């Protein structure tokens, strides 16, 4: 069935594209209501301690200000933690804005100013006077290594390290080739281009329409209803368009709470939009320190893998991600020990950021693999090939598919890897040292429970609906493609409704699971509609489809026909009019197949090849070429798929070279909380990126053969860059981002021209 695609698998432009390129797509802050108020948040200026005094008089007196909220006058909200826990909450105590005088992190909201204009709220916020009793902050992970601990309540069992296998320590000490090092990755901030915002529109009857920047409209809906004991039927949350999120919108943010709180209290519509600065105080990729030790025999076969990961969490929640387990399954090795700990800092709770855990852990592993290749003295790609594994050794399960060999082969060919000379500093072009690096990428291919409705109308057109989200991933388009395929329609004849909490239940968009999950739900709903249509067709007199089964029919050119013989069939419009039907609508509910999950593990894989050019005198790094070969099952839309992987690569280059939340550990405050000083890749940083999709037939990862693409693009990129920098310069830099100062400190750059 997958091979006969007419719409699925084509590089079609996004169906939401015309609205996006003309400025007509409405994001959360872009809705209006009569007499709407504006909220602006005041953040704490200490990292830990308490509010000694808070004076709101001047702010309240500012023209246009309606009310200033602090912990002293905040309207009541749920008391029990369980009411504050969203769909993807963490072990611990969720943050309750303005709940008390305690300060747990820099930037924590301490007041909300509500005024009749944005400007008045913003300007008055500067007049809120807060006096703090500050405690000594602890924000440096390196200094908290002694206070690390194994999370007592696992966020997910799968995040916990697998049991050790073999004897990694003994095998390490006996092996002829060993490497062992610490890898440090600084904290990163998602910084989607859209500011977090909520517009809470209060209708005259007290019902709500809430536009929220979120990766799950139903998650926001349930969260806000639980906190304020709202009738779920009277609240609708929409996230029609989302200006990027990368994980930052998985959990509801404080602007949602504030907009609804103020609106309920003041009985008016309220909009709260964060500032860019404010967005640095929530949901970040935690800083991490990892120790990786690898050992190999004379030929490079892995004898021992030891990976210990430590990352930051907050005082109030135990954020957890799967950092190190990848090292137990990436390569064949019989002696493996993995350990994982977190440490509390006076920071906001970290959160999932594109390929959470893998982007961090695989960076360390894949840099270590490069070190091992040079220790053994073989080509870094060859080392990966000879340690290839066909089974998930962590869980001792078969893999649904793994076309990683093809990724290595085709990626290397496209990149020209065979032209590489092994020795560091052996390739140069004028004043530039050239380096080529490679790394493997891995991410889980996940499917989550999902629902979708599909409606066929008598004009033959189709509407798909689900509370799924499109954070720029292409959800609108691929769900439309799947429906169009099932009904032999043009994409333009399908309407896709997503981003609304009233639509069929869907989990938050994350983990690369949306296409596999909601896509399967759409396909099953389509099959159900066709089955209903067939039943109606079979009730007709002398129906040519009287004996046909569901499996034998399909829609072609507006007719329900036998798959084997399109001559035999009935027009859809005739079936529906004979049955007196204006429309057929079916609601599908799907979930992963537990029998398959018991037997198989499912992962996406990639091979990333990177060329850097390092200025021989200045240490400046340019990434001039990237080839990322990805095996991710069936590709529904090569155009949007390529964009997703490219976006992952770009964020990976940011991790490698630019991105770093800088904390002044004396004050515990973030110093570079803006996007001029927190560097993300800009146009000038990005040169050639080549994405290759490897064919991978996989009917087990998900029923529609999809494995997901949101994360895999970033995994391995930072390691490939660091390996390329080593190849160019001979300097092994184990601290990310690899900024010029680190290169200058580690290399003997050519200074003769300066003498």
Partner 1 sequence: MDLSSQSHTAATCPVSLTINGERRSFDIHPWVSLLDLLRGPLELTGTKKGCDHGQCGACTVMINGERMNSCLKLAVSLDGAEITTIEGLGTPDNMHPMQKAFLEHDAYQCGYCTPGQICSAVALVKEGHAHERHEIREQMSGNLCRCGAYTNIADAIEEVMGAEKAAPVREAAE
Instruction: Give the residue numbers annotated as catalytic, written as ranges.
Output: 711
Rg (CA), the chain: 27
Query: Smallest distance, Å, CB 16 to partner 1?
Result: 7
Question: Scanning residues 263 to 282, which ones bind partner 1 (CB under 8 A)?
Answer: 273, 275-276
Given 680, 740, 744, 749, the residue binding partner 1 (CB under 8 A): 680
The span of 223-231, 237-245, 503-511, 588-596 binding partner 1 (CB under 8 A) equals: 237-245
CA distances from 218 to 212, 291, 379, 542, 654 (A): 11, 39, 49, 47, 32
The span of 45-53, 96-104, 309-317, 465-473 binding partner 1 (CB under 8 A) equals: 465-473
Given 70, 108, 191, 400, the residue binding partner 1 (CB under 8 A): 191
Given 218, 401, 512, 644, the residue binding partner 1 (CB under 8 A): 644
The answer for residues whose C-beta is within 8 angstroms of residue 176's C-beta and 6 or more apart is 296, 297, 298
The answer for residues whose C-beta is within 8 angstroms of residue 707's C-beta and 6 or more apart is 445, 512, 516, 602, 603, 604, 632, 633, 634, 696, 698, 701
Give the residue with the Cβ less far from partner 1, 18 or 232.
18
Query: Smallest distance, Å, CB 662 to partner 1?
Result: 16
Torsion of Cα atoms, 324 then 672 then 40 then 19, to 10°:
-70
Query: Smallest distance, Å, CB 684 to partner 1?
Result: 4
Strand ordering across the sheet containing 336-344: 336-344, 302-313, 288-296, 177-185, 735-736
Give the residue with the Cβ less far from partner 1, 63 or 176.
63
Total residues contacting partner 1 (rule CB under 8 A)? Answer: 68
Given 351, 474, 592, 668, the residue binding partner 1 (CB under 8 A): 474
Using CA atoms, how far apart are residues 382 and 314, in angstroms rounded to an integer? 41
The span of 384-392, 513-521, 634-642, 721-729 binding partner 1 (CB under 8 A) equals: 634-642
Give the residue with the Cβ less far from partner 1, 540 or 646.
646
Rounded to 10°, the helix 717-729/358-376 angle is 30
Question: Scanning residues 273 to 332, which ones bind partner 1 (CB under 8 A)?
Answer: 273, 275-276
Q: Which two tokens stand for residue 229?
A: 């004991």
Query: Smallest distance, Å, CB 185 to partner 1?
Result: 19
Cis peptide before 27 (omega within 30 of 0): no
For residues 547 and 553, the answer to whether their CB atoms sit within 8 Å is no
* 611 strand-pairing partners: 436, 625
Q: How many CB atoms lie within 10 A of CB 329?
A: 23
Strand ordering across the sheet containing 494-497: 494-497, 462-465, 450-457, 583-590
By CB under 8 A, tell whether 64 contacts partner 1. yes
For residues 323 and 361, the answer to whether their CB atoms sit within 8 Å is yes
Give the residue with the Cβ less far from partner 1, 17 or 730.
17
Query: Smallest distance, Å, CB 646 to partner 1?
Result: 6
Question: Scanning residues 194 to 213, which ones bind partner 1 (CB under 8 A)?
Answer: 194-195
Query: Smallest distance, Å, CB 211 to partner 1?
Result: 11
For residues 256 and 41, the answer to whether their CB atoms sit within 8 Å is no
DSSP assignment string, 393-439: TTTTEEES--THHHHHHHHHHHHTGGG--SSTT--EETTEEEEEEEE
For residues 439 and 649, the answer to whether their CB atoms sit within 8 Å is no
Query: Smallest distance, Å, CB 47 to partner 1?
Result: 23
By CB under 8 A, tell whether 244 contacts partner 1. yes
For residues 478 and 640, the answer to whether their CB atoms sit within 8 Å is yes
Strand ordering across the sheet containing 553-556: 553-556, 559-562, 565-571
Give the residue with the Cβ less far from partner 1, 363 or 523.
363
Query: Smallest distance, Å, CB 322 to partner 1?
Result: 24
DSSP assignment string, 60-114: HHSTTEEEEE-TTTPPP---SHHHH--TT--SB----TTSSSEE-STT-EEEEEE
Given 472, 511, 703, 716, the residue binding partner 1 (CB under 8 A): 472
By CB under 8 A, tell whether 509 contacts partner 1. no
Would you give the binding string for partner 1 spanning residues 23-62, x where CB under 8 A is met?
xxxxx-xx-x------------------------------
The span of 320-328, 374-382, 641-649, 724-732 binding partner 1 (CB under 8 A) equals: 641-649
By CB under 8 A, tell whether 673 contacts partner 1. no
Give the residue with the Cβ less far from partner 1, 196 or 417.
196
Q: Which two tokens stand for residue 241?
A: 């368009």
Give the residue with the Cβ less far from partner 1, 273 or 554.
273
Given 8, 16, 253, 484, the residue binding partner 1 (CB under 8 A): 16
For residues 377 and 179, the answer to whether their CB atoms sit within 8 Å is no
By CB under 8 A, tell whether 635 contacts partner 1. no
Query: Smallest distance, Å, CB 549 to partner 1?
Result: 40
Rounded to 10°, the helix 514-538/475-486 angle is 30
Query: Smallest distance, Å, CB 263 to partner 1?
Result: 18
Given 18, 232, 377, 416, the residue binding partner 1 (CB under 8 A): 18
Q: Where are the beta strands (DSSP E) in 232-330?
A: 235-238, 270-273, 284-285, 288-296, 302-313
Given 81, 396, 688, 697, the residue binding partner 1 (CB under 8 A): 688
Alpha carbon 30 to chain centroid, angstroms: 24
Query: Smallest distance, Å, CB 97 to partner 1?
Result: 22
Binding site for partner 1 (CB under 8 A): 13-14, 16-27, 29-30, 32, 63-64, 115-120, 123, 190-195, 241-246, 273, 275-276, 471-474, 639-640, 642-644, 646-651, 674-676, 680-684, 686-689
């Amino acid at each position: 069935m997958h091979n006969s695609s007419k719409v699925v698998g084509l590089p079609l432009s996004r169906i939401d594209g015309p609205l996006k390129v003309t400025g007509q797509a409405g994001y959360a802050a872009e809705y209006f209501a009569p007499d709407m108020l504006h909220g602006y948040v005041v953040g704490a200026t200490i990292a830990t301690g308490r509010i000694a005094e808070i004076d709101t008089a001047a702010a309240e007196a500012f023209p246009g200000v309606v009310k200033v909220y602090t912990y002293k006058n905040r309207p009541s909200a749920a008391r029990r933690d369980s009411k504050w826990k969203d769909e993807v909450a963490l072990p611990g105590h969720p943050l309750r804005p303005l709940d008390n005088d305690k300060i747990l992190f820099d930037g924590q909201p301490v007041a909300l100013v509500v005024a009749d204009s944005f400007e008045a709220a913003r300007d008055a916020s500067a007049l809120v006077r807060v006096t703090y009793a500050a405690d000594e902050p602890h924000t440096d992970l390196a200094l908290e290594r002694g206070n690390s601990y194994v999370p007592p309540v696992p966020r997910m069992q799968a995040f916990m390290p697998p049991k050790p296998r073999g004897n990694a320590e003994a095998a390490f000490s006996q092996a002829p080739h060993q490497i062992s090092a610490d890898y440090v990755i600084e904290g990163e901030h998602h910084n989607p281009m859209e500011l977090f915002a909520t517009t809470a529109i209060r209708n005259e009857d007290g019902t709500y329409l809430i536009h929220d920047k979120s990766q799950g409209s139903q998650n926001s809906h349930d969260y806000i209803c639980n906190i304020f004991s709202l009738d779920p039927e009277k609240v609708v949350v929409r996230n029609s368009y989302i200006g990027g999120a990368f994980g930052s919108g998985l959990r509801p943010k404080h602007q949602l709470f504030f907009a609804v709180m103020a609106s309920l209290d003041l009985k008016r519509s309220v909009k709260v939009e964060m500032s860019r600065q404010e967005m640095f105080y929530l949901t970040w990729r935690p800083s991490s320190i990892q120790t990786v030790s690898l050992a190999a025999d004379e030929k490079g076969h892995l004898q021992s893998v030891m990976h210990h990961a430590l990352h930051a969490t907050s005082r109030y929640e135990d954020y957890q991600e799967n950092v190190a387990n990848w090292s137990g399954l990436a390569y064949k090795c019989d002696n493996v020990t993995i350990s994982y700990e977190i440490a509390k800092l006076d920071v906001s709770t970290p959160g999932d950021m594109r390929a959470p855990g893998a982007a961090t852990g695989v960076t360390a592993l894949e840099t270590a693999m490069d070190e091992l290749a040079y220790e053994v003295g073989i080509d870094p790609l060859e080392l990966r090939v000879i340690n290839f594994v066909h089974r998930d050794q962590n869980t001792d399960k078969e893999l649904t598919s793994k076309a990683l060999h093809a990724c290595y082969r085709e990626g290397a060919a496209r990149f020209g890897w065979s032209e590489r000379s092994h020795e560091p500093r052996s390739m140069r072009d004028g004043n530039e040292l050239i380096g080529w690096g490679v790394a493997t990428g891995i991410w889980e291919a996940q499917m989550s429970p999902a629902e979708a409705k599909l409606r066929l109308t008598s004009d033959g057109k189709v509407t798909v609906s689900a509370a799924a989200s499109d954070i720029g991933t292409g959800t609108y388009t691929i769900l439309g493609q799947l429906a169009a395929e099932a009904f032999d329609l043009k994409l333009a004849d399908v309407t896709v409704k997503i981003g609304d909490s009233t639509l069929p239940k869907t989990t938050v968009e994350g983990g690369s699971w949306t296409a596999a999950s909601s896509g399967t739900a759409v396909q099953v709903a389509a099959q159900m509609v066709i089955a209903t249509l067939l039943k109606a067709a079979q009730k007709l007199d002398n129906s040519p489809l009287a004996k046909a089964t569901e499996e034998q029919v399909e829609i072609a050119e507006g007719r329900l026909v036998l798959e084997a013989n399109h001559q035999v069939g009935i027009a859809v419009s005739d079936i529906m009019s004979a049955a007196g039907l204006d429309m057929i609508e079916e609601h599908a509910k799907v979930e992963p197949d537990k029998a398959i999950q018991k037997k198989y593990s499912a992962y996406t894989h990639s091979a990333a090849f990177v060329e850097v050019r390092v200025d021989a005198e200045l240490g400046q790094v340019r990434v001039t070429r990237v080839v990322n070969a990805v095996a991710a099952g069936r590709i529904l839309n090569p155009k949007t798929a390529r964009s997703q992987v490219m976006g992952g690569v770009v964020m990976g280059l940011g991790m490698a070279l630019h991105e770093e939340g800088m904390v002044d550990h004396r004050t515990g405050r973030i110093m570079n909380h803006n996007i001029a000083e927190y560097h993300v890749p800009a146009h000038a940083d990005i040169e050639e990126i080549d994405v290759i999709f490897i064919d991978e037939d996989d009917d087990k990862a998900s029923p529609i053969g999809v494995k997901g693409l949101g994360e895999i693009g970033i995994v391995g990129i930072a390691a490939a860059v660091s390996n390329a920098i080593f190849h160019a310069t001979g300097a092994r830099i184990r601290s990310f981002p690899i900024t010029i100062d680190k290169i200058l400190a580690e290399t003997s750059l050519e200074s003769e021209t300066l003498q």
